[in-house]
Chain A
Amino acid sequence: MREISTIQAIYEAIAEEMRRDERVYLIGEAVGPGGLTVTRSPAEIFKEFGESRVRETGIIEPTLAASATGAALSGLRPIVDFSFADFMFPAWSEIYQAGLWRAGHGAAEDMKIPLVYMGGIIGYSGGGFSHSRAPIGNIWHGPGLKLVIATTPYDAKGLLKTAIRDDNPVVFLVHRLHYPVKGPVPEEECLIPFGEAVVRKEGKDVTVVADGYQVTLSLEAAEDLAREGISVEVIDPRTLEPLDINTILASVEKTGRLVVIDEDYVRCGPHAEIAFQVQERNFKSLKAPVQRVGNLNMPIPTAKVLRDAALPTREKIIAAVKKTIKNIT
């Protein structure tokens, strides 16, 4: 199978869906071919669809988010590129609103809000407190939103196409360190259903649930641990909403130990939700307290030594796995 990068896969998915359905359009600051951000659309997309379907904007995050809701309610299918996921922060009210709108109006006449909010997690960049956050917990907290975090080119294409065709607001995240990574992607149509986790590496001693770039770090940690005779199973949920809790439960039933890794702040982070669901549904499967690794509850610093102290690292993941094995809290 041919290999393409994650960013190529993203734009292939967008172009295919825009060809398939003329209601789909792309909007964002700097989505044009001259854009300065890593997610800028290639010149071919702009050339093929023109400026009415590839809308470059200024700095208007609240309008990006809420205009998509208005357009979706009236029959279009917008894809909003926020570039950095950090830029969702100024639009929080409107992003939440997209999720609240349907049930908030009693799903009147079965109203539909088909839109995608795309953002790149820019962690480990040295961008500091406002240019490297992973607002995964913030999004997952919002009712009515679906949440995808793609970690491979194949997943990026298949999950984004599913997101564009879904009749609900979907937040689609990819970590910037995954953008250039190449991998096999079929040329024919590929759609990946939401709510199906993937076991990235099988193991028997400890279950590690990780999303985004943490999947890559966890797989590296698992390799190191294997050399010490510790067998780690790494699960990538791919979508947090809906969450495939059954795959996680089955793994923990086998290993008896769980570590959750996510780049968001640990306080009220996705780690807590996953760990809680596991103990709630199968407390008896756990042989040791659950461990979590995430961003410390502090603004992310810029210098490498400082940000490595704040963010998850391979070493911290290894230490967390060992803690569960030693059954210490």
Chain B
Amino acid sequence: MPLSNEVLLRIYRDMIRQRTLDYQLVKVAKSGKMLPGWHSGLGEDAIVAPVALLRQDDYVTYTHRGAYVWIARGMTMKEIIAEFYGKATGCAGGYGGTHIAKPSLGIFGRSGMQGGHFPLAVGIGITAQMNSKGQVVMMFFGDGSGTRGHLHEAFNFASVWKLPIIWMCENNGLSMSVKLDKTWAIKNIAKIADNYAMPGKTVDGNDVIAVAEAASGFIERARKGEGPALLEMITYRWRGHVEGDPMTYRTREETTEWQKKDPVPRFEKVLLDKGLLAEEDILRIQKKAEEEVAEAQQFAEESPNPNPEEIFTKVYSTSHT
């Protein structure tokens, strides 16, 4: 399905916003002002694209890497940065850190046990199916967490029950520091889709249009009740697994090669060629994103700390039906 100009521009704006945020948090991580554990997604930025194709009432699960999903779903920079600062104004009130949640936007949180969100997505898929409103679940995972047995359980039962889930594999070729040929017996993970009786496709994960178009077909299919699908996006992370990673497992040259495939200028060229964007628009969008991030960072720094006297009130809900 061709993507509308409006959607393309939205993808671009969100891509720049999330990249600007990512660059800033890489810097702040060094300063020690925020909580440890920023997993940069720089280089994998095209992955923001498919989230723009979702409906307001759809659901997403995210990985620990980058800020794509949160930004594209409409979370504010303020509630994200404040959470990474451990402040009361963060989306999880300083309790979550990298465990970001915004249930009203279909973002329910993240398991720190990688791969824990495969079965979580199955449950959200059961809700989507039982609601009968054509909702879908977009579930992001990496080649690293994909080696867990949870993938098998979830893929199999999502297909048995024809749940509306799009399995989005960010294949960046690294399970922390371990390369793909040491963790997977096959090169392209999408190949396994056939074993679960669902369609699978491998695309250039740095090509926004390729990613979005492939996702679009799978989303429509899931909405019609035709079941799950697996989209593998081949990409590369520029930074380490987490800020502070000395990256001894790869060469500088390898990273430089991949940086030439930067998804942002590639997508900019498409938009410029289509006449959807002019050079001055690029500068304006970038400047606006920088202002937004700076304002949010100031907000986070000035925000109050959480109140330790409240900690136990978070554990149990006091309500019942």
Contact = CB atoms under 8 A, between A and B. Distances in A.
Interface in B238-260: none
Given A66-B117, A167-B317, 16 more contacts: A52-B129, A60-B119, A67-B122, A67-B157, A70-B122, A74-B128, A93-B113, A105-B99, A106-B93, A106-B314, A107-B313, A108-B96, A108-B109, A109-B103, A111-B109, A111-B317
Interface of A: 21, 25, 52, 55, 57-58, 60, 62-63, 65-78, 93-94, 97, 101-114, 143-144, 146, 162, 165-168
Interface in B286-321: 306, 311, 313-321
Contacts of A111: 101, 103, 108-109, 317
A302 to B, nearest CB: 29
B104 interface: yes
A52 B127 CA distance: 11
Q: Which of B90, B120, B127, B313 has the most CB of A within 10 A?
A: B120
Interface size range on B against A: 35 or more
Contact of B123 (A58, A68, A110, A166): A68
B179 interface: no
Interface of B: 59, 90-96, 99-104, 106, 108-109, 111, 113, 116-131, 149-150, 153-154, 156-157, 161, 306, 311, 313-321
Contacts of A74: 59, 106, 108, 123-124, 127-128
Contacts, number: 160
Given A73-B108, A74-B123, A57 B315 contact: no
Given A74-B123, A106-B96, A167 B319 contact: yes
Contact of B108 (A67, A70, A94): A70
Contacts of A107: 93, 95, 313-314, 317
A144 B119 contact: no
Contacts of A73: 103, 108-109, 123-124
A106 B157 contact: no
B157 A93 contact: no
Given A70-B121, A105-B101, A76 B319 contact: no
B298 to A, nearest CB: 22
Contacts of B96: 104-106, 108
Contacts of B121: 70
Contacts of B117: 66
B210 to A, nearest CB: 29
Nearest to A72: B123
Nearest to A66: B119
B92 A108 contact: yes
Contacts of A108: 91-93, 96, 101-103, 109
Contact of A102 (B102, B116, B153, B317): B317
